[in-house]
Amino acid sequence: MADWQRVIGALRRHRGSDVAERAARVAEAAPEADRQFTAGALQGAFDPHYGVTGAEYPSFVAVGPASGFDTYAPFEAPGGLRAGMEHNEDDQETIDRLQRLYNNPRFRGFDETPYLEYGVETPRRAGSLLTPQEWSARGFDDPSSSLWIYGHDGRHRSRVLGDQQTLVRLLSRSRVSPSPNRLIDLPANADLLSDRVPSLRDTGYQLYHHGGSV
Q: What is the pLDDT of residues 146-168, one digit of tens each?
A: 667 777 889 889 999 999 999 99
Q: What is the pLDDT of residues 58-113, one digit of tens each?
A: 889 999 999 888 877 755 444 444 433 444 445 788 889 999 989 999 889 999 99
Question: Could you tell me how far CA 209 lies from the centroid of its own chain?
Answer: 13
Judge if pTM exceeds 0.75. yes
Nearest residue to 25 via CA among 214, 170, 211:
211
What is the total count of domains within the chain?
A: 1
Q: Residue 87 is part of which domain span?
A: 4-213
